[in-house]
A and B are shown apart, each in its own frame.
Chain A
Amino acid sequence: MFRKGMLVIGAILFLGLLGAAKEQIVVNSYMSDPAPREAFAQLVTMFEEQFPNYDVVVNTFPHEDFKTLLRTWLPAPEGPDVLTWFAGERMQYFAAQGLLEPLDDVFADGGFSALFPEAFRTVCTYGDHFYFVPQSWYWWGVWYRKSIFEELGLTPPITWAQFLDTCERLKDAGYAPITIGTKYLWTAAGWFDYLDLRVNGLDFHMDLMAGKVPYTDPRVRKVFEYWRQLVDKGYFLDNHSAYSWQEGASFLFNKEAAMYLMGQFIMDVAPAEVKDDIGFFRFPIIDGTVGVYEETPLDGFMMPANAKNKEGAKVFLRFIAGQESQQFFAEYLGRLAANRHVPPPDPMAREGLDMILASDGVAQFYDRDTNPEMATEGMERFVEFMMFPDRLDSILEELEATRARIFGQ
């Protein structure tokens, strides 16, 4: 009697264990916007259908807070299995500290080149190892109101001289030629990056990001000189430091301003009735001898070194890298998938992709390419320059002092 009882209990326990044998994968994500969040949730469901022995738990955090919390998770004894993050210096900083798990297994047998463009390789690696699985990316451009341009008989400018002329005509007609919201600083960095890329090229720009070039170098000053042409003529929105990027965009939507240098995600916030009236053009060419470079921030996933379920995480990451999941995500959101086999989801994305493919190289973005402390200092100085261009000399000196202190030269 007793033995039978034990057998029954044993069987129940065994079955219970089987049922509980679902492995858990914990993903911490910053995709707090409704659309990406939903897209990701559906991706997770797709994954669980294909791999039923895994149970994926997604914890979502507001974007800003995620960046702060990351610093508590990474050095702790145990952490989540998968994290959303950005490619480039921001990721490499952690890899350099040994806080990330190498993902070479995920890309075994030349998997990376099979899945992703070569251009992405450098920003997904550190040393000789992969640490990052890219998922989507977007392009930057100058977004403009087609109706305003039509009204004034303007066409998207291609050269700098044409751009200045366009601004002048817009200003005469009573519009703010360029809108921007610099409260959180990074939008100003977009201008710096593009001007530097157009004036000095990608190699110089990346050297500057790496702290190899002093900020007092005349080539850097040249960038500010061009910038100054716009500031002095008052082409930027008044009091831009009071506005977040989104509030800056509102002036484009209500037709008080005509152009905005911004990433593709601006379309996420454009009101429905305005969407069709917005187009974009490539940032104007300044020097015809310099190559044409663009900014393409890349988003994706990484694994902390203290992850509990590393094997499970790798299965998940392989799924993320695959064409099926990348296509789903890209189509849902109108973004560009990192996977090179996924076609662009709509005509505007096609345009963006073509622009990037026609370029000579890409950078990520100022605050994703350079040391974090340098980034903060740099961006603050950029905004100061936009408000007080006469302070250029002291601004360059302060930037240089910070650079020297951080990069130690």
Chain B
Amino acid sequence: MRTKWWVPYAFLALPLLAYSVWVIKPIVETFIISFTNWDGISKTFEFTGWENFKFLFQDHAFHIALLNNVKWLLGFTAVAVPIGLALAMLFNRQGVLANVCKSLIYLPMTLAFVVRAQMWSWILEPRHGVLNTFLSAIGLGALARPWLADPTLVTYALIAVALWGQIAYAMVLFLAGMKHVPLELVEAASVDGATAWQRFWYVILPMLRPAMVIAITISIIDSLRAFDIVYVMTRGGPFGSSNVLANYMYIQAFHNYRMGRGAAIAVIQFVITFSMISFYLRWVMREERGRGS
């Protein structure tokens, strides 16, 4: 072998070291804390074994949070990814107008988070908000709802707000991926008489694989990790109906002084996400090996 065995490790040494110290070690600490009854502030705590997990298992609020996360997962993967892709295809041009549009679509992501959340709160406000006012104006007033106050609707409203940012993010990912699609292949397909749809499905889409993998992975992770929108717009309310795991964890750890229980929620969330991701990634890598890249 011409390459010495230690070369890849040399490249990875510094990144891994930094990562282990700043990220991996804290995660391990979190795992340990989940087996204690630490309140996050005292100097002492006890190990309580599986207590926290047993509590969560029968905790009604935890079940609601879990269910809501499933809704978020579906929303992100089934909606954000395809629409992000569509937008990337749509705007994949140069030119002043295209650039302006792309920048404007990206702009929300650059705006401070609390501001976005507040603007959407006003859009969805029951009495005077844009949405309900607009619906009344076009005669669909019957559809007007208290979007954030109705326990059955609130999670969907929050997901919609999150999608607003997530779609732009997916669009950027796919735009980056487009650059890796060789123009010649597409032209060749077109010369061979392929329709636009066939060109898309059989040539472009497969070549977008790297971006697609990232987009799907990130969607899974972000949907299960969703916190900011829920915390700022409803705090998990009304009375816990829009709770998600990360929000519930935060309230347990920092409002209720139950750090151990919060850590347990984080552990559960980690395990779920990790299982899904490693399953997905292993499938992807099998495909990669199959193609012998």
User: Are A and B physically bound partners?
Assistant: yes
Decide if A239 touches B149 in the complex (CB within 8 Å).
yes
A74 within 8 A of B: yes
B126 within 8 A of A: yes
Decide if A94 touches B235 in the complex (CB within 8 Å).
no
| Chain A contact residue count (CB 8 A cutoff) | 29
Binary contact readout B59-75 vs A (1 if CB under 8 angstroms, 0 otherwise): 00000000000000000
Decide if B41 touches A185 in the complex (CB within 8 Å).
no
B43 within 8 A of A: yes
A294 within 8 A of B: no
CB-CB nearest in chain A for B43: A75
A74-B41, A94-B41 given; A183·B234 CB < 8 A: yes
Which residues in window 145-203 of B have CB below 8 A to A? 146-151
| Chain B contact residue count (CB 8 A cutoff) | 27
Decide if A239 touches B40 in the complex (CB within 8 Å).
no
Residues of B within 8 A of A93 (CB): 257
C-alpha gap A373/B235 in the complex (Å) = 15
Q: Which residue among A98, A99, A376, A381 has the maximum number of chain B CB atoms within 10 Å of its CB? A: A376
Binary contact readout B241-280 vs A (1 if CB under 8 angstroms, 0 otherwise): 0000000000100111110000000000000000000000
Decide if A97 touches B238 in the complex (CB within 8 Å).
no
One of A99, A373, A383 near B258 (C-beta < 8 A): A373
C-alpha gap A114/B170 in the complex (Å) = 65
C-alpha gap A373/B255 in the complex (Å) = 7
One of B151, B237, B240, B256 near A183 (C-beta < 8 A): B237
A384 within 8 A of B: yes
B94 within 8 A of A: no
A238 within 8 A of B: yes
Residues of B within 8 A of A373 (CB): 255-258
**B interface secondary structure, majority:** loop
CB-CB nearest in chain A for B39: A97
**A interface secondary structure, majority:** helix
Decide if B237 touches A241 in the complex (CB within 8 Å).
yes
Residues of B within 8 A of A94 (CB): 41
Decide if A242 touches B257 in the complex (CB within 8 Å).
no
Binary contact readout A166-194 vs B (1 if CB under 8 angstroms, 0 otherwise): 00000000000000001111000000000
C-alpha gap A75/B41 in the complex (Å) = 6
Decide if B42 touches A242 in the complex (CB within 8 Å).
no
C-alpha gap A75/B45 in the complex (Å) = 13
C-alpha gap A384/B235 in the complex (Å) = 14
Q: Please report B residues at the A interface, Cβ cutoff 8 Å.
A: 40-43, 121, 124-127, 146-151, 234-235, 237-240, 251, 254-258
Q: Please report A residues at the B interface, Cβ cutoff 8 Å.
A: 67-68, 71, 74-75, 93-94, 97-99, 182-185, 238-243, 247, 372-373, 376, 380-381, 383-384, 387
10 A-B contacts, Cβ less than 8 Å apart? A68-B254, A71-B257, A97-B42, A239-B149, A240-B149, A241-B238, A243-B125, A247-B125, A372-B256, A383-B238
